[in-house]
Amino acid sequence: MASLQLRRESEVEQESPKSPEAKLGMKVEDLWGIQEPKLTPTEKLNACFESIPVSSFPLAPQGVEIRSDASLAEAVQILSQNKILSVPVVNVNAPEDSTWIDRYIGIVEFAGIAVWILQQSEPPSPRRASVSPSGTDVAVSLNGMTSAAGLGTLGPEDASITSGDFFEALTSSEFYKNTKVRDISGTFRWAPFLALQKSNSFLTMMLLLSKYKMKSVPVVDLGDGKIDNIITQSAVIHMLAECTGFHWFESWGNKKLSEIGLPTMSPKQIIKVQEDEPVLQAFKLMRKNRIGGIPVLESGGRKAIGNISLRDVQFLLTAPEIYRDYRSITAKNFLIAVKKYLEKHDKGSPMLSGTITCKRDETIKELIQTLDSQEIHRMYVVDDDGNLEGVITLRDIILRLVHEPRGYFGDFFDGVLPLPQNSRV
């Protein structure tokens, strides 16, 4: 069986790469073969990725941008229809000949819109030192239903306040329909935002997506002042999945997760919610801890019954009617309602695959192939009894592939820092 697998991989190596990602893998393979023998495998990969310009990365579907005068409702629809999590925002007041840094206000995200709405709709309370005028206006516009949006600690006893018709009221409000994207600038990933030039290297891009925790990296064309490509963590994982059979990938990919230090956290460190907690608690924890997903555990146990990610927030804003029959939107009710909705409208959704898990003795290659084929952003590690032991994200994988040489970035971040007070990279 082992010899058959080796023969198949050898055949793959001899064939011409068919996908753009596999062609990139071949470039790395060629560079891998000429590196100094004394270098470690990680040092070899660093040198290979430093030699390839980021302009070589396959182009993502282009043309999706949001005008700064679009409403939050319009922005949510654009993100949902194009099945993307974030999008560049064009400043409608910028001159035609603007540079890219003046042309774009920044990048707006699905989760950013949702959490901002909920923060603004938090009603006045004695616990708060001050309340912004917009918060009061929103409370009025939602007809007193804003108690569901409070961002204090929510527990099972608070689930009843998250009524099933809350989001229907929110998405039909004048506030939601009339607030412009530009009105929330400075709140999340906003200007000046970090972008790469076409001449920057793969290594730079991969470090930004891993060590520096960026979910996506825009690549700008200085000539026309526009974004030429947007590279995401998912796109890098897809590239790696297409590189099966290449020596450089196999030497790393055949290692077991435990051999390369994955998962990185203990069970006690995992951010999680119980199935009977309000779903808003899951999104609040994700925002507070700056993570992209969270497991939902069975009540009083350690087994995961599902996963809620930041991209799932779209179902609160684009299909609020699916919760109408629920007295409260707990994490479990959210998973059930979304599954029923997807079974009718999007049978190919990753959310219909259930909770996808792995064990510590699986290889990094197996993990990458599963993440790519299932189009998911994290994998939960379980023990032999199915109890949750850890979580591995796309970022964790990329971070194990490359490392940052001492002084590598130099003054690279000059000009993009300091960021606005409430923004994040």
3-class DSSP state of 182:
helix
Going through 18-141 in order, the beta strands assigned E by DSSP cover 66-67, 86-90, 104-109
CA distance 280 to 285: 9
CA distance 73 to 177: 6
- Helix (H), strand (E) at residue 50: helix 41-50
Predicted local distance difference test score (pLDDT) of residue 238? 97
DSSP string, 188-222: SSBSSPP-EETTSBHHHHHHHHTTT--SEEEEEET
Q: Which amino acid is at 242?
A: E
CA distance 358 to 383: 9
pTM of structure: 0.83
Predicted local distance difference test score (pLDDT) of residue 50? 97
CA distance 301 to 226: 50
C-alpha distance from residue 414 to each of 100, 104, 116, 205, 244 (Å): 16, 18, 28, 17, 38
Predicted local distance difference test score (pLDDT) of residue 191? 43
CA distance 23 to 343: 36
Predicted local distance difference test score (pLDDT) of residue 296? 97
Predicted local distance difference test score (pLDDT) of residue 186? 59
C-alpha distance from residue 244 to each of 271, 335, 360, 363, 366 (Å): 32, 34, 20, 13, 10
**Chain-centre distance of CA 116, in angstroms?**
17
3-class DSSP state of 243:
coil
Residue 341: both structure tokens together = 């909705």
Do 75 and 86 form a contact (C-beta atoms < 8 A)?
A: no
Polymer length of the chain: 425
Q: pLDDT tens string for the chain (425 positions)?
A: 444 444 444 444 445 568 999 999 999 999 999 999 899 999 999 999 999 999 999 998 767 899 999 998 899 889 888 888 788 899 999 998 888 888 888 888 877 776 676 666 554 444 444 434 344 343 333 333 333 333 344 444 444 445 677 778 878 888 888 989 988 875 544 444 688 999 999 999 999 999 988 888 999 988 888 889 999 999 999 999 999 999 999 999 999 999 999 999 889 999 999 999 988 888 888 878 878 899 999 998 999 999 998 788 888 888 888 888 777 789 999 999 999 999 998 877 777 778 899 999 999 999 999 999 999 999 999 999 999 999 999 999 999 999 999 999 988 876 554 433 433 33
DSSP 71: B
3-class DSSP state of 382:
strand
Predicted local distance difference test score (pLDDT) of residue 146? 34
Do 137 and 113 form a contact (C-beta atoms < 8 A)?
A: no
Predicted local distance difference test score (pLDDT) of residue 136? 38
- Helix (H), strand (E) at residue 152: none
DSSP 304: E
- Closest by CA to 412, choosing from 216, 105, 103, 201, is 201
Do 240 and 233 form a contact (C-beta atoms < 8 A)?
A: no
Predicted local distance difference test score (pLDDT) of residue 384? 94
Predicted local distance difference test score (pLDDT) of residue 197? 92
DSSP 261: T
